[in-house]
Amino acid sequence: MRKDKPIAYDAYDRLADAYAEMIDTKPHNAYLERPATLSLLPK
């Protein structure tokens, strides 16, 4: 654990990596959240 970072930082870092691995294949994200969010961005 890093002493200069909050204790939750390491847990968040691991969670972020796991989330990033499944971002395109997890049904809820791939078919609902991501398309909806991308539709709000300018083209």
Q: What is the model's pTM?
A: 0.44
Structure tokens at 21: 């691995």
pLDDT digits (tens, 9 = 90+) for 6-26: 888 888 888 988 888 887 788
pLDDT of 3: 65
pLDDT of 14: 87
pLDDT of 2: 53
As a whole number, the mean pLDDT across the chain is 84
d(CA 32, CA 36): 6
